[in-house]
Amino acid sequence: MASLRPGLERRLKAELTGDVRFDRFTRGRYATDASHYQIVPIGVVAPKTVEEAARAIALARDEGVTVLPRGGGTSQCGQTVNDSLVVDCSKYLTGILDLDLQRRRVTVEPGIVLDELNRQLKAHGLWFPVDISTSSRATIGGMAANNSCGGRSLRYGTMRDNVVSIDAILADGTRAHFGPVGGSLADVPAALRPLAKDLLALGAREQGEIELRFPKVQRRVGGYNLDALVPGKNDVNLAHILVGSEGTLGFSTRIELKLSPLLGRRAVGAVHFGSFYEAMNAAQYLVRLKPIAVELIDRTMIELAREIPLFRPTLDQFVRETPEAILLVEFGEDDHDVNLRLMRQLKELVGDLGFAWDKSGAKWGGVVEVLDPALQAAITEVRTSGLNIMMSMKDEGKPVSFVEDCAVPLEHLADYTSRLTQVFEKHGTRGTWYAHAGSGCLHVRPILNLRQEKDVRAMRAIAEEAFAMVRAYKGSHSGEHGDGIVRSEFNEPMFGSKLARAFEEVKDRFDPNGLYNPGKVVRPPKFDDRSLFRFKPDYRGLDIKTELDWSAYPGAGGGFQGAVEMCNNNGACRKLAGGAMCPSYRVTKDERDVTRGRANTLRLAVTGQLGPDALASDEMAETLSLCVSCKACRRECPTGVDMARMKLEVLAARVVRKGLSLRDRLIGYLPRYAPFAARHPYLFNLRNGSALLRGLAQIVTGFSAKRRLPAWRKDIYADPPSPGFDGAPGREVVLFADTFNRYFERENLDAALKVLTAGGYRVHAAVPADGDKRPLCCGRTFLSAGLIDEARQEMRRTLAALLPYIQRGVPVVGLEPSCLFTFRDELPAVLKEEGVNVLAASTFLLEEFIAREQKAGRLALPLAPLPKKALLHGHCHQKSFAAMGAVEATLRLIPGLAVETVESSCCGMAGSFGYAAETADISLKMGELSLLPAVRKADAETIVVADGTSCRHQIHDGAAREALHVARVLAMSLETTRA
């Protein structure tokens, strides 16, 4: 992976202010998209302006290097991988250039993400309605290049239907405006007129062939849009020849879009079917009610989604029994009464088609009405995560995209799906189905292992049979995801040799020297050329030693290889709002600092593609340097990529190779020296009181001089005597005192003890079983320093102390989320001993325990009213383990307390991350994304609540407010009762 063009790299760095990277790690991160291909680029540029992009393209042309425009990198057919200079528009070219509310038009730069655009448009009652499933990370430039189609294309059409004009840099450097043109071409700039004349002449020449060979379905995105050039058939818009061209004709700089009014209240009918075939056959009748969408989820997708904690609660609310398929029929008329009337008609129609809940077999089914907007949004999230849900299979065989989105007329949909299923079975596999039934475009991926030659041969056979079937039905072999490497080879069989030559003519007229994204749409490689695959013929994992248990996955390193390969590059981690994933990316917008980029780097490292010992290299450390181990990806990544756990392996490998820094020692061994520090707090706190000492300490320890470290104290929390156990019935609980609350904020443990005692519980202290006076520890600090063996010792010691309690069913309650959830998460992966799983199942945050007791009717807390407002920030691990509902429910037990939860990602402190000199500024930027501004807006009477030690310190440092643990808020209510 050596840099192949040092001259180009030097010139780019000299002339651009944006990012210029030619190192092997960056190039590796850009070598893949959401397809199964991998082609290492020459280098990567993220220009800060359009002018810089133009200069980068000119320099590449001068150096004889091809250019690949790239947005979010979520293409499923290999459009955004090539042996080229990648020009990444998604980091800086993200602006809105013009907004015309009266005409409902917006002009944007190519790198703006769809969800970000719609967030800004919402205040004006407008949105851009091509609502694709990857809207949280797909860029408008990429969507235009792909001619994307959204779930509501029945109403809003494709990108082509919604793009007004495009400004582009052509291959020779010419700046050109493409838009509507008149027959005389008088409104076309003189420089562009010869090209426009040639294009229209080509459209006129091939009019008959276009009429004969272009599929008559809405979702047809294969080849170039020659039908846009046919005279007299429609208003000619030259921008439409760029739409769907996959970055092969020009580099878009300005894209003008049509906008639509926001949808109002909607009605969704979840139509259940006992037969997949019957569901597909019914689609042609359901669309007669003119819904704005008819979307499919099949039984496989339902079963997989139920295994994902993020989606399980949603399915429980609208899925009845075990359907073979569900069609989600959505009505979105302006008058909601009309939607309700259409819902009644839907129920009648389903009944007329012979379906009923009291039937069995193929005619079992009916309609579940969904009118709640929150549930509708949750269902949409499940539906739009279909690809990732399907890819959550842990086997080496995965659903593979190559006949992914063929589109056929609705009257043939049932027969097509039935016959394609038979093709899959013929080749020893099966398919997973979901998506756009109302458009006749179903996403289907046969399960194949592309490491095996026999499965690659099966892929070729399935593709040829499937596309022949689609041609027979007069459908489209590419209904949504474009051509790329996967389908460009099949454009000639689909459109015929004459139109295939016309496609080449268009390419050559725009780009005679093949500067832009060669090998896509025209003159492609074979789609099953394994040298282009992510899993090439010589692909294999290295024999690496791992510290944690990865046995749930296949591959080298005890399954570690399989775990990192779970990333399918779909990029859900690149979202910029909602949930917590990925806080570092939200600050830097850098592919290196997102879960996908890190997972790709790990995959390349463990398969030897980044050189020897790459796992412990400085470049790998840099790749993971901004990962705050928030564990958001553990929950929010639909394929379950757990980067926090993977980072532990990298840290452990680096400890073996490079040892520990002083800062790592101070962090890791904190529980061991804490008793000594508590006896001499003045000595350990000297650093905080002097700017000079903080500066010197930064040089020696690496802790930022800008930050005050937590203050040591003498009056630490002391475990009270346990009440003992005499066999008498009673409600017992063990209070686990973590290191941070014990030594720095004992008030929280005092409050928790008070709350539990007031609730009538007999509270046991968690103390060492061997009589050692040093308090117990979860091992968290040792894990964060890569000291897995030391963490294992602490875990073993704690397990021995708690085993007598958990064996008789006594729950263990803790306060600090990062410590408590270590028992549920890392403990089973680090320690393989009797009782580990019992302890993992027996540990609860205080709020989880209280909420459980309340639900069971066992809670008797005499809480008095607190007529105040509580502003709640959730710790990342609380979000990851779905504990926020319990936290909110516990606070709402206090009469009169109004609870508002901040919609926030990580606070940014993240243990020691915010204290490190090199990451202190990034830490505060994370906090400024939403948390710190929300705290500053809160009035002085508002109680700011945060359970995490790090979160409370970040709030104090960044917003000058004291945040309280929930335990202290509950204790305040108890004290009010006593008063």
**pLDDT tens-digit series, residues 411-425:** 999 999 999 999 999
Structural fold of domain 869-978? Rossmann fold (3.40.50)
pLDDT score of 892 more than 70 = yes
What are the φ/ψ torsions at residue 260 (nearest 5 degrees)? -130, 155
**pLDDT class for 355, splitting at 50, 70, 90?**
very high
Q: What is the CATH number of domain 6-91?
A: 3.30.43.10
pLDDT score of 130 more than 60 = yes
Contact 942, 901 (CB under 8 A): no
pLDDT score of 707 more than 50 = yes
Average pLDDT estimate for 154-178: 96
**pLDDT class for 195, splitting at 50, 70, 90?**
very high
What secondary structure letter does DSSP report for 555? S
Average pLDDT estimate for 832-839: 94
**pLDDT class for 769, splitting at 50, 70, 90?**
confident
Average pLDDT estimate for 284-300: 93
CA 647 from centre of chain: 18
| Domain assignments of the chain as residue spans, ordered by start | 6-91, 96-261, 267-333+369-488, 557-659, 732-855, 869-978
Q: Which CATH architecture has domain 732-855?
A: 3-Layer(aba) Sandwich (3.40)
Average pLDDT estimate for 49-74: 97
Least confident of 580-589, 718-727, 961-970: 718-727
Residue 443: the pLDDT is: 84
Residue 576: the pLDDT is: 94
**pLDDT class for 390, splitting at 50, 70, 90?**
low
Residue 461: the pLDDT is: 97
| Cα–Cα distance, 773 to 44 (Å, whole number) | 56
Q: Is 184 exposed, middle or buried (CB count within 10 Å of its CB: 0-12, 13-18, 19+)?
A: exposed
3-class SS of residue 527: coil
Residue 692: the pLDDT is: 96
Residue 351: the pLDDT is: 97
Contact 430, 301 (CB under 8 A): no
Please determine whether the domains at 732-855 and 869-978 fall in the same fold group of CATH: yes
Residue 729: the pLDDT is: 57
Residue 730: the pLDDT is: 65
Residue 308: the pLDDT is: 80
Superfamily assignment of 267-333+369-488 in CATH?
A: FAD-linked oxidases, C-terminal domain (3.40.462.10)
Q: What is the pLDDT of residues 513-558, one digit of tens each?
A: 999 999 999 999 999 999 999 999 999 999 999 999 999 999 999 9
Give CA separation, 710 vs 551, 683, 693, 912, 958, in Å: 39, 13, 15, 11, 15
Residue 2: the pLDDT is: 43
- Mark out the alpha helices in 807-881 (DSSP H runs): 817-824, 826-830, 836-842, 846-855, 876-880
Average pLDDT estimate for 2-6: 65
How much of the chain exceeds pLDDT 90, in percent?
A: 87
Number of Cβ within 10 Å of residue 867's Cβ equals 10
Tell whether omega for the bond before 819 is within 30 degrees of 0, i.e. cis: no
Average pLDDT estimate for 571-581: 93
Contact 572, 137 (CB under 8 A): yes
Tokens of residue 254, six digits = 């300005």
Full-model pTM = 0.93
3-class SS of residue 207: helix
Which residue from 151, 50, 800 is spatially nearest to 438, judged by alpha carbons? 151
Residue 726: the pLDDT is: 56
Tokens of residue 794, six digits = 């602490």
Give CA separation, 757 vs 733, 761, 764, 974, in Å: 10, 5, 11, 11
**Residues pairing with 687 in the sheet:** none
Query: How many residues belong to the chain?
Result: 979
Least confident of 211-220, 487-496, 837-846, 947-956: 211-220
Number of Cβ within 10 Å of residue 283's Cβ equals 23
Q: What is the CATH number of domain 96-261?
A: 3.30.465.10
| Cα–Cα distance, 751 to 739 (Å, whole number) | 16
Least confident of 146-150, 247-251, 651-655: 146-150
Contact 827, 841 (CB under 8 A): no
pLDDT score of 727 more than 60 = no
Residue 388: the pLDDT is: 64
Tell me what the pLDDT averaged over the chain comes to. 94
Q: What is the pLDDT of residues 495-509, one digit of tens each?
A: 999 999 999 999 999
Average pLDDT estimate for 606-629: 96
How much of the chain exceeds pLDDT 70, in percent?
A: 98
Amino acid at 400: V
Give CA separation, 1 vs 24, 28, 597, 612, 960, in Å: 5, 8, 17, 12, 48
Residue 700: the pLDDT is: 96
Residue 724: the pLDDT is: 63
